[in-house]
Amino acid sequence: MKQIIFNIVLMFLLGLLTPSLICAQDAQLIVVGNNVSVPSEMDFKQLKSVLRGEKMRWNDGKQVIIALMKSNTPVGKETCTRIYNMSPNELNKYFLALVFQGRIKAPTFFTSPSELNAFVAETPGAIGVVDSTHDLTLKIITIDGETKL
- Domain assignment of residue 75, yes or no: yes
> How confident is the model over 36-62, as pLDDT tens digits?
999 999 999 999 999 999 999 999 999
Domain assignment of residue 12, yes or no? no
Contact 11, 61 (CB under 8 A): no
3 in a structural domain: no
| pTM for the structure as a whole | 0.80
Phi/psi for 69 (5° steps) reads -75, 145
Q: What does the alpha-carbon distance between residue 102 and residue 44 come to, in Å, rounded to a whole number?
A: 26
Asked if residue 76 belongs to a domain, the reply is yes
On whether residue 53 sits in a domain, the answer given is: yes
Range of the domain at 52: 28-143
120 located within any domain:
yes
Domain count, the chain: 1
pLDDT in tens, 61-105: 999 999 999 999 999 999 999 999 999 999 999 999 999 999 888
| Residue 19 in domain | no
Instruction: Answer yes or no: is 1 within a domain.
Output: no
CATH of the domain at 49: 3.40.190.10
Residues 6 or more apart in contact with residue 140 via CB below 8 angstroms: 30, 31, 32, 133, 147
DSSP structural state of residue 143: E
